[in-house]
Structure 1
Amino acid sequence: MLKKTLAAIALGAPLLLPAAPAQAQRNSNEQVLVIFGNDSCPRDTICVRRSEGERYRIPQELRRIKPSPESQSWAARARSMEYVGASGINSCTPSGAGGWTGCYQQMLRQAREERRARANGELPDGQ
């Protein structure tokens, strides 16, 4: 009986302590506030003013991240592998009956991919 009581006290004791703030919260002495448009800045605070159009956008620091091959989805990878080894109709190959019929689709698909890459900043505008 005594062992059960001591075990219950040992398990319940941490619940009685107040929750401590995280290390990042404990050391936040800087008072920097980002304000938008004509919002007022409190007196004892350092304010960074941004335009009103930036209020509901993703912060500029996070928008600079370039897309990498590691972050490409498996669906996009599978879509690019879909045409590997294709032959016959709609394949744009000299082998198989009607292989030439896919050349126009291939050209359109390549143009769409280049347009998407240019819009995402993966290709320069001049190329």
Structure 2
Amino acid sequence: MKRQATAKLNNLRVAPRKVRLLVDLIRGMHVAEALMQLKFSKKHAATSVMKLLRSAVANAEHNADIDIDTLIVKEAYVDGGPILYRWMPRAFGRAGKIRKRTSHITIVLEGDEKTKKAAKEKKETKKETKKTKEKKGTEETA
């Protein structure tokens, strides 16, 4: 069964038009492929989008219980945030308006649910590590 996980970033101080170039690039890709695209991108917003994508992957793994290997960027979109207005002195005593735009980014990942078999294997490895730690502790004291 398909499951979804989301991550949002609000008020990023980069213009939405510039961030959309990156988001349009990764939409529909597998997560590993999208991370590689962002890693080698020269755009300033690439680091923020990469951080957000990693956050979405963590949300998928821990909150939505999704298998990481099957994750795909289902939706990715950028909305305009609040605009910060600044003023620039111009000729003849006038003032020119400067708009510093911000962005809201949303990423939705989709993937298959983790199988119960994989969850059991994970629990077994945890038990084994506990046992080995206990053995090491008794060997050190002896």
TM-score (norm 1): 0.23
Query: Greater RCO between the two (CA within 8 Å, min separation 6)?
Result: 2
Greater strand share, 1 or 2? Answer: 2
TM-score (norm 2): 0.21
Q: Return the index of the structure with the highest Cα Rg.
A: 1
